[in-house]
A = this chain, B = another copy of it.
């Protein structure tokens, strides 16, 4: 088996291992998108009279079959394939012969991978949105179920003002809805069609029609000039990871609250056994591991964002192989956010607030008392504040 660009010496096996390392496995999820983009590219070549109708038919059918077979698990990208692009072109050529060698005309793996990634990100955004809405819906169910229960409103982790389960749940729901909008805002950076920028400098002498693939693949615009394309690599990826860091921050803060509420000292909530784990040494323990891991995953989200941003930093312009490593933190960040959303939604449905354990310090009404003095007596707030403060001189 040979790689597309093999010309002379066989590649040192260690070099292949180091350079294609995790990549060939990561690329599995790009197969369907590379198939789609390759078909759009071939159609454009045909329309530009760079590919015969017969070759187009062979390519289209061949790629569709390869995509379906991959979906069914009938083949996998191998280390020696290096990446999804080589894996597909090699298999296509093995299947349809010479015509397979015609599909790469006017493109490079540099624009090809970016196209596949952006198509993939569209679907990832949709799934992350669905996952986020799932947590929102669970918060709303909680609010409907137990919203009336009074809860202290905390500032500085101190009881501060009266609140409720509804306000607690709806505060998080509102932020998660906003996080979902944040995730959607990444579309701004993925709706640029990179296809046809080739290695980053176009395809001199070839009559490509970039607008055609823009339309065929549903992009909003063709990314121009061609030299901007590789400069943009990593930006949509980082933005999605940033928005996921914000999402995970909210989920982590929700988990921090619930871990507090689940302590024996608070005792505000109950969790079913299915959502707690035991201890290998202490027979009595039921631990809220799920929420601890949600809290910890904020660290993973931040690390993925950092990795993506730092990979791109300080690089000269033009494609650099460094950019390949973006896929790992991108996919890891997406997967972990998706898993976390699912488990949080399930956990919220499972938990129960315990009103009998929730006690509001009467002092949480102090601000309201000061307000009443202002309204009733017309004194300045600062004066009312001082009067009420005198009542609460000694804590508890």
Contact = CB atoms under 8 A, between A and B. Distances in A.
26 contacts: A15-B289, A19-B290, A89-B382, A104-B281, A110-B281, A152-B264, A153-B318, A158-B287, A168-B227, A174-B227, A204-B368, A205-B368, A206-B371, A238-B246, A239-B246, A263-B266, A282-B367, A283-B366, A283-B370, A284-B392, A299-B313, A299-B322, A300-B325, A303-B329, A310-B310, A314-B314
Contacts of A297: 325
Tell me how many chains of this kind the complex includes. Answer: 4
Contacts of A178: 189, 228, 232, 235
Nearest to A382: B101
Given A10-B274, A21-B339, A302-B307, A282 B205 contact: no
A337 to B, nearest CB: 12
Interface string A287-310: 111101101111110111111011
Given A10-B274, A18-B290, A280 B322 contact: no
Interface in A156-206: 156-163, 167-168, 170-172, 174-175, 178, 181-182, 185, 188-189, 198-206
A381 interface: yes
B313 A203 contact: no
Contact of A389 (B7, B242, B370): B7
B105 A161 contact: no
Contact of A225 (B10, B167, B300): B167
A275 interface: yes
A106 interface: yes
Nearest to A168: B227
A389 B2 CA distance: 15
A277 B392 CA distance: 14
A275 B12 contact: yes
Contact of A303 (B89, B162, B306): B306
Given A287-B156, A316-B157, A4 B204 contact: no
A108 interface: yes
A11 interface: yes
Interface string A85-103: 1100100010000111111
Contact of A282 (B161, B262, B325, B383): B161
A371 B106 contact: yes
B279 A167 contact: no
A121 to B, nearest CB: 16
The 4 closest A-B pairs by CB, nearest first: A5-B278, A171-B227, A101-B382, A299-B310
Nearest to A258: B316
Which size bracket describes the interface of A in this complex?
A: 35 or more
A1 interface: no
A210 interface: no
A342 interface: yes
A216 interface: no
Contact of A374 (B8, B105, B286, B396): B105
A218 interface: no
A71 interface: no
Given A167-B226, A188-B185, A278-B5, A367 B158 contact: no
A371 B203 contact: yes
A386 interface: yes
A171 B231 contact: yes
A339 B317 CA distance: 22
A217 interface: no
Given A157-B316, A204-B368, A321 B287 contact: yes
